[in-house]
Chains A and B, each alone.
Chain A
Amino acid sequence: MPTTVEIPKEKWTGKVREVTLGATPSNGGTRGREVVVGGEATLPFLHFEGAIPHPPVVAVEILDRYPDDWAAPLKEVWGDVMKDPVAWARKAEELGAELIMLKLTLDESGAADGARAADVVRAVLGATTLPLIVRGPGQAEADNAMLVPVCEKAAGERIAVGLCEDKNYRTIVAAAMANNHLVIASSPIDVNLAKQLNILISDMRMPMERVLMDPTTGALGYGIEYTYSVMERLRLAALSGDGMTQQPMICFVGEESWRQKESRVGQGVPAEWGDWHHRGVIWETVTAVALLEAGADIVTVRHPKTLELVQSTIQKLMAS
């Protein structure tokens, strides 16, 4: 007698919020397209169980200055475009990036020049049709000094700005709210802290349709398992109906992965580590893939080959 196996499905009561990055002219911006993420009503890529209306997307990370401290394989592959954020953004778009993540840095003197930051953001917006993610240097005062003028100068473009942390979110959230942008809420690998920050941001009357969540990324071999599990827990909470965990998640994969020894060092490492350039790409790719399996909606990468590999992986995972 043939056995009939019933496919086990979960009945989820919640789903992830849809968040739209970028605004086209009809919505008050100048972007060539808008990118919607989120909306999942099931765990990552389980099409047999629930709707996954939007594929995760890949953003390419660029800097507002030449990244002296980046690993040699990255400098080799990008070449001279890294000297100019405008050329760099154009090249990233040409290579198929779905979003650009522009990281703003301090001046050589250590000063946070808000006017310059705003000009760079405007120039990059002019160079690409893609929606933009803009991050500050990651120090509370400098972030405020740079991101407020950026938000003003890019008003209406629906860029995503960050990072908003528990000690430093009010100014950025207010600036984003006033100029129709999104914010990235960042918390240190902890479900409750992530949730709490979302509540604080929501209390400022920021619509939750304009909040992305950064759980803090650990790279492969350097804490990825913590990020992986926190993301699984956040997504399970979201699907179980917890409204303050239902934000799409963004993972800064390139930045974390290329910071590690495996990616940064080519000499004096064990032969069993294999080819340096390939290792860097694979380290970044495997980090991205594992976190996509845990629920990432946006991953940011640095290497063009990673962009290609992760995008084709997403395509395959979205084919039900």
Chain B
Amino acid sequence: MPLSGLEIYKLLPKTNCKECGFPTCLAFAMKLAAKQAELSACPYVSEEAKQALAAAAAPPIRLVTLGTERNFAVGNETVLFRHEKTFYHEPGLALRVKDTDPALEEKAALVDGFSVERVGVNLVMNALAIENASGDAGTFAGAVAKARAKTKLPFILMSDNPDTMKAALEKEGGMKPLIYAASDGNVEAMAALAKAHGASLAVKAETLDGLAALTEKATAAGAEDLVLDPMPRHLAGALAAFTQLRRLALKKNFRPLGYPIIAFAGDGANSPEEETIAAAQAICKYAGIIVLDHFDAADVYALMTLRQNIYTDPQKPIQVSPGLYEINSPKPGDPLMVTTNFSLTYFSVAGEVEGAGKPAWLLVTDSEGMSVLTAWAAGKFDAEVIAKAVKNFQVESKINHHKIIIPGLVATISGDLEEELPGWEVLVGPREAVDIPAYLKLWQ
């Protein structure tokens, strides 16, 4: 939480030497609070004051990065509800495998390569969690080495034994893993390992008091990038604990719990579907890392989609540039369709036309990133807007006919559009993108 001018003033030398360029230390403090001056302008400021000011400027939830080549960062969130601003750092999705799993390498490669494109974005998994189920250090380290040969994704190394963890860290390849986990008995040793290997460190405890005590010990031992596991026993418990952690960090600026949260969606789930449900809750409500125990493409695709949706900036819908798009190399005689520049709308329509294997011209209007119906209701996708786009993007120079297909949802504007575009024939297309292939088959 930022300090007030008076609080900053207390940390300054109070000599009014003017060397910073301001008449008094108080004036300088006020400028600092307003972020209109830099602390470095004061030649006499103490180390203590520097640290205090840096700490006050730090985000309430620490940004923690896992991985090197394929890294992801979580934390640094500023709101409890996405409409207040936005959620910034999508939670990382990880798959947990046991070091005894004969399919370990196969799963590592699967998680590494899985990718789905949605509205122009490649959705991927972010990490592999390897659990020391064997209880043996050699087996664990061997599994880590094998997995590393298959993927550059960051690892979450799971063992309570610092010696076993050390063995695994030596095989991990220096790619900023997450050590899971420090608890009462091993926190100093685990924190030392995290510090030595540039790793982040998860702490686990069943109570918030326990977690706060652990993070204080871990930071005292030199581990800075921490992740919290409040070990919830069920769905409602997870929601309560994660909400309390987020509130403490944001509303109380409670430093000992100002770290991202890790969720184990499979714990307490009786089926893969229940695990997916727990992961969906974790996406909505405050997890930074979500560990799955099963991998099913449909489940993972649904979760990635939810993650993309919830982490979209509410102020800025994902949009594409307005213009005349060519799909499947259209010729002047091919159909002309029009839609809005909301990404989902564009990619749904373009995807269907592509899938149908039909060449077509797709005119995308500037509708401020709104979907067809929303834009129409807001007056951003009416006859005038479409007619303007036809002119601005010189549609008539590209095609040799005067037919334009409008989305079925806005059939009511066809009359207006014929008035705006004299000599044109306005055709009403399907209401849903999914019905476009069938429609295009009939187009002559």
Partner-B contacts on A (CB < 8 A): 2-5, 7-8, 43-48, 188, 220-225, 228-229, 232-233, 236, 259-262, 264-265, 268, 270-275, 278-279, 281-283, 285-286, 289-290, 293-294, 309, 312-313, 316-320
In the bound complex, residues from chain A placing their C-beta under 8 Å from that of B48 are none
B310 contact from A225, A312, A313, Cβ within 8 A? A225
**Interface: B309 (CB within 8 A):** yes
Indicate if the CB atoms of B235 and A225 lie closer than 8 Å.
Answer: no
Indicate if the CB atoms of A272 and B306 lie closer than 8 Å.
Answer: no
Q: Mark B281-297, 1 if CB is under 8 A from A, else 0.
A: 10111000000000011
Query: 21 A-B Cβ contacts within 8 A?
Result: A5-B209, A45-B239, A47-B236, A48-B244, A220-B302, A223-B344, A223-B371, A225-B82, A225-B314, A228-B82, A228-B309, A229-B83, A232-B81, A261-B434, A274-B300, A275-B297, A275-B298, A282-B302, A286-B303, A312-B274, A313-B277
Indicate if the CB atoms of B277 and A221 lie closer than 8 Å.
Answer: no
**Interface: B37 (CB within 8 A):** no
Indicate if the CB atoms of A5 and B274 lie closer than 8 Å.
Answer: no
Complex Cα gap A211–B100 (Å): 57
In the bound complex, residues from chain B placing their C-beta under 8 Å from that of A272 are 114-116, 297, 301
In the bound complex, residues from chain A placing their C-beta under 8 Å from that of B277 are 285-286, 289, 309, 313
Indicate if the CB atoms of B280 and A290 lie closer than 8 Å.
Answer: yes
Indicate if the CB atoms of A319 and B310 lie closer than 8 Å.
Answer: no
The 5 nearest A-B residue pairs measured at CB: A274-B298, A274-B297, A279-B298, A8-B247, A3-B212
**Interface: B257 (CB within 8 A):** yes
Q: How large is the interface on B (under 10, 10 to 19, 20 to 34, 35 or more residues)?
A: 35 or more
In the bound complex, residues from chain B placing their C-beta under 8 Å from that of A43 are 243
Nearest-neighbour CB distance to chain B for A266, whole angstroms, equals 12
Complex Cα gap A290–B309 (Å): 11
Complex Cα gap A11–B165 (Å): 45
Interface of B is mostly: helix
If A8-B247, A264-B434, A270-B116 touch, whether A225 touches B309 (CB-CB below 8 Å) is yes
Indicate if the CB atoms of B83 and A8 lie closer than 8 Å.
Answer: no
**Interface: B6 (CB within 8 A):** no
**Interface: B197 (CB within 8 A):** no
In the bound complex, residues from chain B placing their C-beta under 8 Å from that of A320 are 236
Of chain A, the residue at the smallest CB distance from B301 is: A273
Of chain B, the residue at the smallest CB distance from A261 is: B434
Indicate if the CB atoms of B83 and A4 lie closer than 8 Å.
Answer: no
Nearest-neighbour CB distance to chain A for B115, whole angstroms, equals 7
In the bound complex, residues from chain B placing their C-beta under 8 Å from that of A228 are 82, 284, 309-310
Of chain A, the residue at the smallest CB distance from B352 is: A261
Nearest-neighbour CB distance to chain B for A171, whole angstroms, equals 23
If A264-B434, A286-B277, A309-B277 touch, whether A46 touches B240 (CB-CB below 8 Å) is yes
**Interface: B432 (CB within 8 A):** yes
Indicate if the CB atoms of A2 and B209 lie closer than 8 Å.
Answer: yes
In the bound complex, residues from chain A placing their C-beta under 8 Å from that of B82 are 225, 228-229, 232
Within 8 A of A (CB), among B72-101: 81-83
Nearest-neighbour CB distance to chain A for B258, whole angstroms, equals 12
Indicate if the CB atoms of A274 and B296 lie closer than 8 Å.
Answer: yes
Which of B146-154, B248-256, B319-327 is the interface stretch? B248-256
**Interface: B231 (CB within 8 A):** no
**Interface: B377 (CB within 8 A):** yes
In the bound complex, residues from chain B placing their C-beta under 8 Å from that of A4 are 209
**Interface: B348 (CB within 8 A):** yes
A290 contact from B252, B306, B308, Cβ within 8 A? B306
Indicate if the CB atoms of A313 and B235 lie closer than 8 Å.
Answer: yes
Indicate if the CB atoms of A221 and B309 lie closer than 8 Å.
Answer: yes
Of chain B, the residue at the smallest CB distance from A8 is: B247
Indicate if the CB atoms of B239 and A317 lie closer than 8 Å.
Answer: yes
If A46-B243, A286-B302, A316-B234 touch, whether A309 touches B273 (CB-CB below 8 Å) is yes
